[in-house]
A and B are shown apart, each in its own frame.
Chain A
Amino acid sequence: MAKGIRGAEGRYGWAFTAPAIIIIGVFLVLPILLALYVSFSNWHGLGSPIGNSSFIGTTNYEKVLVDPGLAQKDFGTSIRNNFYYVIIVVPLQTALSLFLAVQVNRRILRGRGFFRTAFYFPSVTSSVAITTIFIFLFTASGAVNALLGWLGINGPNWFADPSGVIHNLLAGVGVSKAPAPLTAPGPLGLQWWDWISGPSVAMCVLIVLAIFTTSGTFMLLFLAALQNIGSEIDEAAEMDGAGALRKFFSVTLPMLKPTLFTVLTLGLIGTWQVFDQIYLTGKGEPGKTLLTPAFLAYDTSFTNLNWGQGAAISFILFLIIVALTLLQRLILRDRDVGRRAERNAKRADARLHAEAAMAARTSTGTGAGS
């Protein structure tokens, strides 16, 4: 190619990427820097942060993380709530989506298309619509309790019940108050007894909601991977006389490892970002047991006008998510999979990862498990 074309290529290269660079720069990079400053400032929402606030060092971070007080306790509570949400949602959504994928991947299944559609459809709808529906399903006299009534179970008043599931179980065996050792103060201003509460009954509904809306998206990821594996290996395993379960655990599952990691990573990232559902179900109520760091950051800034602290919570959440992603990468590095699977997976994975990240954001608003 002639030099002129090369030069033109350079100009066009910048011209083609310019809109993206400008918009990402102005509406993503710049705002993050501005918010980072705000998190170290005493800005209270009047005028521009630049010129109307002063640098106060790490005070905002200290209030949230170290100094005993309401800010620290709320933050601790939000971390606890979200922690239970994450450790229940991530394994369940992964297992369920894998199970569904294996089921709808069977070549001889009749009505495969119907089943795929049924399982995927909740992922398409908006978090607002689906949360509205769930609020209706889980009212005291709602559909779920009506169903439980048929089984002779008196369902709780889901969204109004702040009691922790583990606390309730302990109460069932006669431990309804904190035993002495657990009254000791734990991290972030919460007693150990409060840390072990488990998710509240209300949170359980959001857990079900997250699994319900994300399993379809992740099912499609697993389905793509299963189709990449192809049928030859299946057949080979069958020739060797492996049973269905054995074949799944010793042949299929290892080949799905890359996808499994993708799903787990996306799940971890997403579940730490629940926002929409909290906003819709009562802003952290009942008893602050639905408070999450994402919502707390918003609420601290937009409602209490404590912008510095809100921004600080945002960045702490950011660090939590980055740390978890890096941890995941570290574990991901020493994956051992078959060569064919690895090649296929690598090709499909990067793209799927991006697509899934985009799709997941869609179905879950800013979060809910993915």
Chain B
Amino acid sequence: MTTVIEATGIPTEPGTGIHVPHRRKHLSARLRTTALLSYILLAVLALIYIYPFLISIAGSFKTDADATQHPLSLIPEIWSYAAYQRLFTTVPLLMWTANSTIVTVIVTLGRVFFDSLAGYALSRLRFAGRNIVFAGIIAVMAVPNVVLLIPRFLILKELGLYNSYAGMIIPLVVDAAGIFIMKQFFESIPVSVEEAARIDGAGVFRTFWTVVLPMARPALITLFILSFQGSWNEFAHFVVSRNDPNLNTLTTGVASLTSGQLGSGNQYPLQLGAAVLMSIPVAVIFFIFQRRIMNTSDGGDKG
């Protein structure tokens, strides 16, 4: 699936070789056995990682009874679309999706823009107090998210933003870690390019927008992926920033399906269908940017 190409084609790694280097031909039998064993091990592990998702997809097309009786099978006894029918009729899945989309789009755009803006200022613009601001950003990065649940609820109530899109979105729209990533990246770009632009008379914002930002593409993509995933999958913040069912996102909505009745609930196909559907956008983003995400050495050097 990935096309990860290594420049160094050195086929050596003792004890694991499939293509045995010629100077060790006499070892090949043993190496082949080891290689085969490690393939089997990896295949089993991969199966363990993938199978839950396959079962979930299959389970969402089963009847309630089928899902309970044949939890392991990948092919439903009777194909049933009842779960999906319910999800699109009685369950307000579309409204949840709309809410998730609104939140994710704004948060992602906001993070990419504000984080790079601040990251650029902290790496390139000399201004009094810059070090203090940067120290503040570092300190904020250290604050564990879960500690913010009660504080965020308190401030949203105080500002009258509880149960509003604004309350769900604005607190997430800037991210200290994102600012840090962008600052690091801008520091790796040579200053000379910007200086040329500035000598030509371009203003600070124009230089940033038309010269520096295009060069920051790799970091922007990283930030985009992380922000998208982060806001689409966000749960805790939406638990404390609203309780209006009309503001349910996919995470809180599906959670209400899941946590409703544990154990007694015989509506697994419904829950699994919802879980499958809500995973599609992040899966799509993942597969689009797969090469970038997985080919870590490239990201490490450039980003």
Contact = CB atoms under 8 A, between A and B. Distances in A.
A314 B152 CA distance: 12
A89 interface: no
Interface in B59-73: 59, 67-69, 71-72
B46 A114 contact: yes
A311 B150 contact: yes
B262 A281 contact: yes
A358 B177 contact: yes
B294 A117 contact: yes
B299 A129 contact: no
Contacts of B95: none
Contacts, number: 369
B279 A297 contact: no
A297 B255 contact: no
A163 interface: no
Size band of the interface chain A makes with B = 35 or more
A38 B154 contact: yes
A147 B168 CA distance: 42
Contacts of A283: 259
A350 B143 CA distance: 17
B141 A354 contact: yes
A35 B171 contact: no
Contact of B1 (A20, A114, A354): A114
A317 B226 CA distance: 26
Contacts of A142: 71
Interface residues of B, number: 125
Contact of A107 (B10, B68, B178, B275): B10
B230 A362 contact: yes
Contacts of B121: 12-14, 16-17
Given A118-B49, A125-B279, A139 B263 contact: yes
Contacts of B196: none
Contacts of A48: 157-158
Contacts of B142: 322, 325
B65 to A, nearest CB: 11
A95 interface: no
Interface in B278-303: 278-279, 282-283, 286, 290, 293-294, 296-297, 299-300, 303
Interface of B: 1-4, 6, 8-19, 38, 42, 45-46, 49-50, 52-53, 55-56, 59, 67-69, 71-72, 114-115, 117-118, 120-122, 125-130, 133, 136-137, 140-155, 157-159, 170-171, 173-181, 184-185, 198, 203-205, 208, 222, 226, 229-230, 232-236, 239-240, 250-251, 254-255, 257-259, 262-263, 268, 271-272, 274-276, 278-279, 282-283, 286, 290, 293-294, 296-297, 299-300, 303
